[in-house]
């Protein structure tokens, strides 16, 4: 019969001790993500809106209301908003939208004016706008269901060029725009240099192409007023690589998964779900899926504003590039405007 060998000098062998958990190094980053970021990625709200919801006591984690966004959460945590479980995050998606004149770019308006969300198609998921266009401006507005994409595209560090067709009253000369090209300070606010080209004179008005890399409130209008010209029409035709193309006022078009991944550097597995059929105003399926067959070329030039106010013509003498990087990367078919009761 075998025996346990004795320790030297007749002392009993020491008992084995259970292994202790390895302590986290001091200063290590906490697990998970900030609660506001998680809410934003789930498409509930932007980070700023999520922080406001937290401060209002509308968010609970594991059954307890929180009042500060300084909290990291993981997939194990149970998050609820207004007593309802947080919906699962959808794959990131993006849409191009031609914002018409007369709509406010916000979820609600204290003056009771119509917002873009009142006019989006009723089968659209909850979306957020990338930046804004003021009430009297029109053209390309990017929409997304992902707060991370919204934040990435809006950051000044991204520096994506926004290009506009601008009509001003008067007969300017090219040298009149030198202050805009150098950068202005208006009422203590610094405006970064813009690119400005004088395209053509049309009666009492002149058409310009203006490019800028930031999005301050009414920036182009204020800059033009500072050098003595008033803007009577402003149309955004591109935002970074995304083009307005042939969209008409009120139309929406979803970008394909490949375009979103390539342009924003998203992971391959973050696939955008297959497009669903569009719905007409009455709620019946329109029978046309969002998205056009690959291989068809996109519009040859940026959409020209309709109406009696004049035709801005081609942008800087050249047709703008296709939406995305290749003709077959453009996503989604055009969809009619309609009420969106989800807003």
Q: Which residues are catalytic?
A: 134
Question: Residue 130: exposed, middle, or buried by beta-carbon count in 10 A (0-12, 13-18, 19+)?
Answer: buried
The three-state secondary structure class of 217 is coil
Chain-centroid distance, C-alpha 44: 14
Integer angstrom CA distances of residue 201 from 162, 169, 204, 205, 207: 23, 10, 8, 6, 6
| Residue partners of 222: CB distance under 8 A and separation at least 6 | 186, 191
Q: What are phi and psi of 55, to 5 degrees?
A: -65, -30
Q: What are the DSSP calls for 201-231, one per residue? A: EETTEEEEEEEES---TTHHHHHHHHTT-EE
With CA atoms as reference, report the closest residue to 236 among 291, 162, 125: 162
For residues 150 and 138, give the distance between their C-alpha atoms in angstroms, rounded to a whole number.
20
Asked if residues 269 and 278 have their Cβ atoms less than 8 Å apart, the reply is no
């Amino acid at each position: 019969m075998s025996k346990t060998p004795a320790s030297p000098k007749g002392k009993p062998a020491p008992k084995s001790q259970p292994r202790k958990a390895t302590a986290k190094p001091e200063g290590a980053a906490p697990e998970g993500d900030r609660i506001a970021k998680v809410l934003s990625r789930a498409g509930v709200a932007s980070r700023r809106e999520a922080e406001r919801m937290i401060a209002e006591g509308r968010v609970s984690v594991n059954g307890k209301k929180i009042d500060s966004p300084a909290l990291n959460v993981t997939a194990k945590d149970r998050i609820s908003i207004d007593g309802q479980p947080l919906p699962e995050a959808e794959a990131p998606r993006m849409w191009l939208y031609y914002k018409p004149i007369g709509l406010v770019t916000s979820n609600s308006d204290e003056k009771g004016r119509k917002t873009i969300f009142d006019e989006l198609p009723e089968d659209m998921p909850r979306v957020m706008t990338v930046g804004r266009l003021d009430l009297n401006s029109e053209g390309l507005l990017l929409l997304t269901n992902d707060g991370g994409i919204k934040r990435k595209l809006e950051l000044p560090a991204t520096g994506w060029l926004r290009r506009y067709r601008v009509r001003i009253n008067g007969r300017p000369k090219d040298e009149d725009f030198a202050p805009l090209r150098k950068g202005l300070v208006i009422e203590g606010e610094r405006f970064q240099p813009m690119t400005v080209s004088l395209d053509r004179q049309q009666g009492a008005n002149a058409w310009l192409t203006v490019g800028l890399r930031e999005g301050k409130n009414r920036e182009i209008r204020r800059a033009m007023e500072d050098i003595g010209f008033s803007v009577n029409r402003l149309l955004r035709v591109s935002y970074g690589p995304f083009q307005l193309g042939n969209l008409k006022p009120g139309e929406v078009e979803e970008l394909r998964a490949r375009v979103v991944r390539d342009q924003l550097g998203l992971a391959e597995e973050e696939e955008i779900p297959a497009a669903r059929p569009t719905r007409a105003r009455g709620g019946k399926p329109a029978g046309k899926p969002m998205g056009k067959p690959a291989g068809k070329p996109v519009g040859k030039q940026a959409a020209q504003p309709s109406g009696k106010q004049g035709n801005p013509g081609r942008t800087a003498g050249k047709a703008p590039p296709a939406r995305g990087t290749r003709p077959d990367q453009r996503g989604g078919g055009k969809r009619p405007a309609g009420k969106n009761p989800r807003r």
